[in-house]
Structure 1
Amino acid sequence: MSLEERAKAAAKNIEGKAQEAIGNITGDQQAQVEGKAKQAEAEMRNAKEDIKDGVKNIVDKA
């Protein structure tokens, strides 16, 4: 598990949530979509780290 990558994912998620909220408040659909995309990117980064952790655990047990 890369703590640095997890932190980047968390920051991207927060950035996306903020952008989506601003889009919701202002009615800016593009900001809403971009915010959701950033949140999806954060989820993918976390999933990648989960896979890496799983592979590392398997290798460590072998």
Structure 2
Amino acid sequence: MYNGRDMTELSMMAKADWSNDELAFFHHSFQQIVPYLNTEGQTIQREIVEEIQSRGGLRNL
């Protein structure tokens, strides 16, 4: 189970400052609710995916 900062705190930080565990957890969470995301949620999901890609993908997290 994820035991880290919540989205309220993380939303005030650059994705580059998120830990690998935070990126992986919220990526998984957002993937499960994709059909229900509004524009802001879609933007956050895209930024998370871009940050994961910049770190070399999920295998490297």
TM-score scaled by length of structure 1: 0.41
TM-score scaled by length of structure 2: 0.42
Q: Which has the larger radius of gyration?
A: 1
